[in-house]
Homo-oligomer: A and B are copies of this chain.
Amino acid sequence: MTDVFDHPWLGGLFADPDMGALWSPEAQLSGMRAFEAAWSRALGQDNSEAAARAIEAMEFDLADLRAGTAQDGVVVPRLVAQMKAAAGAPVHKGATSQDVIDSATALAMRDTLALLDTRLAALVEALTDLDMRFGTRPLMGRTRMQAATEITVHDRIAPWLLPLLTHRHRLAELRPRVAVVQIGGASGDRAGLRPGMVEDVAAALGLGAPPRAWHAMRDGVAEFAGFLSLVSGTLGKIGQDIALMAQQGISEIALSGGGGSSAMPHKQNPVGAELLVTLARFNAVQLSAVHLALVHEQERSGTAWALEWMVLPQMAQATGRALVVARTLAGQVQRMG
Contacts and interface: CB of A to CB of B under 8 A. Distances in A.
A294 interface: yes
Interface string A141-167: 111111111111001101100110011
A65 interface: yes
Interface string A216-255: 1111001100100110011011011101101111110000
A295 interface: yes
A177 to B, nearest CB: 7
B6 A25 contact: no
Which interface residue of A4, A9, A211, A299 has the most chain B CB atoms within 10 A? A9
A1 to B, nearest CB: 4
Given A229-B291, A277-B303, A265 B77 contact: yes
B188 A301 contact: no
Interface in A1-38: 1-14, 20, 23-25, 28
Which interface residue of A69, A100, A162, A243 has the most chain B CB atoms within 10 A? A69
A285 B147 CA distance: 30
A11 B306 contact: no
A146 B274 contact: no
A72 interface: yes
A307 interface: yes
Copies of this chain assembled into the complex: 4
B188 A269 contact: no
A262 B96 contact: yes
A53 interface: no
A44 B4 CA distance: 36
Interface residues on A, range: 35 or more
A198 B27 CA distance: 49
Given A148-B267, A274-B301, 4 more contacts: A1-B25, A71-B257, A146-B268, A219-B234
10 contacts: A2-B20, A2-B313, A11-B69, A97-B262, A141-B189, A143-B300, A144-B271, A145-B302, A159-B214, A281-B307
Interface of A: 1-14, 20, 23-25, 28, 62, 65-77, 80, 92, 95-97, 100, 108, 140-152, 155-156, 158-159, 162-163, 166-167, 170, 173, 177, 185-189, 191, 211-212, 214-219, 222-223, 226, 229-230, 233-234, 236-237, 239-241, 243-244, 246-251, 257, 259-265, 267-271, 274-275, 277-278, 280-289, 291-292, 294-304, 306-307, 309-314, 317
